[in-house]
Amino acid sequence: MSLASRLALLPSIICTFVVFAPHAIASPPTPEHTPCVVEDIDAPMMPACVVQSRNGILYIPKKYWMHPSFNRYGLSAFIIESFGNVYIDRAGRIVIRDVASIDNGPDDFHHGLIRINRGGKWGYADPTGRIVVPVKYSCALNFRDQFQNVGPIICVGCRWEQQGEYHACLGGEWFRTDSEGHLTPAHGP
């Protein structure tokens, strides 16, 4: 084969390399396209790394989290930029969405329930993700007074008021709830 014939084939060889081996010339990721790996911290904050399976189940693939700590219910808290606070199980399936925040992270379970906040309304879910107190109340707190650990309480007709860096629920009627969602009158904070 002559030199001219070889040079004529060179563009097609280069084109084939670029098309079939893009990883060989890939540039480093830009900040908005960084890998979705989560470091070992209390409540990992992640970019949008949620995957939806064919049957509609949402999960975070294990390759995106390093060493999460799981609670006694086998759940681990994550903060996902586009989803908010969630709890996942050991398989990475999102079990509970819309978890309320406390001290800049997902709330903890109290008396077997977790606070849920959707669109400014509050309720409680159990560790399986089942909503046991409908998300329709004006406030929900994990209440503890000086005498006893009262547990989860909800308010009907409360108003939110800024108090320093925190918010307070004031006024309204307060009710205590149990892990089955039964409401009984209670004193508010």
Average pLDDT on 34-49 reads 52
How many Cα atoms sit within 13 Å of 10 on the Cβ side?
7
Distances (CA, A) of 91 to 41, 63, 73, 105: 19, 11, 13, 22
Distance CA 49, CA 35 (A): 9
Distance CA 137, CA 158 (A): 9
Which residue from 37, 98, 99, 95 is spatially nearest to 68, judged by alpha carbons? 37
The pLDDT value given to residue 59: 86
Average pLDDT on 14-29 reads 28
- By residue count, the chain amounts to 189
Coil, helix or strand at residue 145:
coil
Determine the Cα angle at 175 with ends 116 and 170, to 5°. Answer: 80
Which residue in this structure is represented by tokens 């006024």? 171
pLDDT tens digits, residue range 141-181? 887 665 556 678 999 999 988 888 878 889 899 998 888 88
Q: Is 105 exposed, middle or buried (0-12, 13-18, 19+ CB in 10 A)?
A: middle
Query: Judging by DSSP bridges, how do beta strands 151-156 and 159-163 pair with one another?
Result: unpaired
Taking the domains of the chain in order of start, what are their residue ranges? 36-101, 109-189
Distance CA 189, CA 186 (A): 10
Q: What's the alpha-carbon Rg for the chain, to the nearest Å?
A: 25
Distance CA 178, CA 3 (A): 85
Cβ 18 vs Cβ 25: under 8 Å:
yes
pTM: 0.71
pLDDT tens digits, residue range 22-31? 222 222 333 3
Which residue from 33, 118, 46 is spatially nearest to 80, judged by alpha carbons? 46
pLDDT tens digits, residue range 43-69? 555 555 788 888 888 888 887 777 778
